[in-house]
A and B are shown apart, each in its own frame.
Chain A
């Protein structure tokens, strides 16, 4: 705890010069029953950035995103959005204020058509550039298949609808949880290829990804979690493959991460 908190503090110092964060997490501790899923995680996401959380299965990545979305209650620590503490806010209130998550496994409404899924996303939308029309323009195939039930779509197409459903809410922070899960690499490439278009409208992206090379390609900042603690963070260009590997698998004794000493846990 002390080491990772220290690393968090260092980072805060480093990145404070870059401006005020749009989303900030301070010393977040989350338990699933007796099990500690997150152990004092901190992060600062700056406006316009693509912030990637990487880590192995069970590292706490999804828990972190779900807690930011309001679906889990932290034991301690806080979530700040646009300078305001939103830790006690219900998930739907966070969504309407601009923190919108594309959940792991897509979680489309199965008995609704493609268009109805988008309409639900747009029901409580903020003002902004994203409309259903714009989503249809971005995913060309979607318009003519808008009346189909989502069960008839391929995994990649479902993921596109899930992203569209989040975009029409006009988020300021778009959280993407494991986009690549269960999708063919070529499909994953195509979906990540949409990211510049999405960022072009002024969004900030916080994503969780198991596929490290994918995350390193798209991210402007990465943070690696291992068993609920931060083992590495920085710009993708500033970290070496060995450092990432050590942080990802928790190889003890490497100089890679400031929190490396804890990774035997």
Chain B
């Protein structure tokens, strides 16, 4: 039973990891930008949520209604300025620039908010509550909610990319930037929209992590970025549903590792990550298979 419990917990945690990973995957798929500040931006979103909840007393769960638009605007602005400028030089430059962004954000947060860790809504029944199945399986309401949100986000992204005008333009620009220009599309604007969407998912990831665990200025690179990377690589670069599959594989591996020995949790996840990287570098769902 303990093993079944581990697998169930792993699957549910995979939803959280998918939430981290889908934005990273989107930005790579469209702009070929590997955003190394991805995790730090999630932490920023979490801190904004903490601030907004403290100041306005908005219900914890609804804070995303304010944080998501803020991050989306920030995403558009960052893409149109810093990231686009780097892209104009070379794709490699974006690695350096987003790495720099990551360092600046992390140290900025340390400077202004200290190294203390903070949680979001730590005393809510939803955050602490769980229901049990049998004697050994305990499912946290929060994890279940996060998993549902992740699935909803992926469905929403899929619908947006396949049906909407901007989704179509994003796919067109990802296919052939120049041909899109000849059709009258300013790819820089389309990139901005894609970044706004990616940052909106980052905001949800940051808030979700703040409720699931604690945030501190180093969480972004130590945890969120690494897990997002692992989920993207395991699932398949550029594949949307691959991020959920990758997140689940990572989550299950971690929980099974923890079941063997509590200190093996992270190691088990990275071993699976390494195995996939060696045996199936294109990921479990390769890009060609994606609709």
Contacts and interface: CB of A to CB of B under 8 A. Distances in A.
A92 B185 contact: yes
Contacts of B58: none
Interface residues of B, number: 18
A119 B182 contact: no
Nearest to A165: B183
Given A109-B175, A109-B176, A112-B168, A123 B184 contact: yes
8 contacts: A71-B181, A92-B181, A96-B184, A100-B183, A103-B182, A110-B176, A111-B175, A120-B169
B181 A109 contact: no
B183 A169 contact: yes
Given A71-B178, A108-B179, A124 B171 contact: no
B240 to A, nearest CB: 13
Interface in A52-109: 69-71, 90-92, 95-96, 100-101, 103, 107-109
Contacts of B183: 92, 95, 100, 120-121, 123-124, 165-166, 169
B184 A92 contact: yes
A169 B181 CA distance: 12
B57 interface: no
B165 interface: yes
Interface of B: 165, 168-169, 171-172, 174-176, 178-187
Interface string A205-224: 00000000000000000000
A97 to B, nearest CB: 9
Contact of B182 (A100, A116, A125): A100
Contacts of A109: 171-172, 175-176, 179-180
A95 B175 CA distance: 19
A90 B178 contact: no
Contacts of B187: 92
Q: Which 5 residue pairs spanning A and B have beta carbons closest together?
A: A124-B184, A95-B184, A107-B179, A109-B175, A91-B181
Contacts of A100: 182-184
Contact of B186 (A92, A107, A108): A92
Contacts of B165: 119, 123
A107 B181 contact: no
B170 to A, nearest CB: 11
A96 B186 CA distance: 10
Nearest to B166: A123
Contacts of A92: 181-187
Given A92-B184, A95-B183, A169-B184, A120 B172 contact: yes
A158 B50 CA distance: 53
Contacts of A101: 182
Given A109-B176, A112-B175, A120 B181 contact: no
A120 B182 contact: no
B181 A95 contact: yes
Nearest to A66: B178
A120 B186 contact: no
Contact of B178 (A107, A110, A112, A119): A107
A166 B165 CA distance: 17
Given A107-B176, A110-B175, A111-B175, A119 B181 contact: no
B179 A103 contact: yes
Contacts of A108: 179
A69 B179 CA distance: 11
A103 B178 contact: yes
A120 B178 contact: no
Interface string A160-194: 00000110010000000000000000000000000
A101 B182 CA distance: 6
Interface string A127-167: 00000000000000000000000000000000000000110
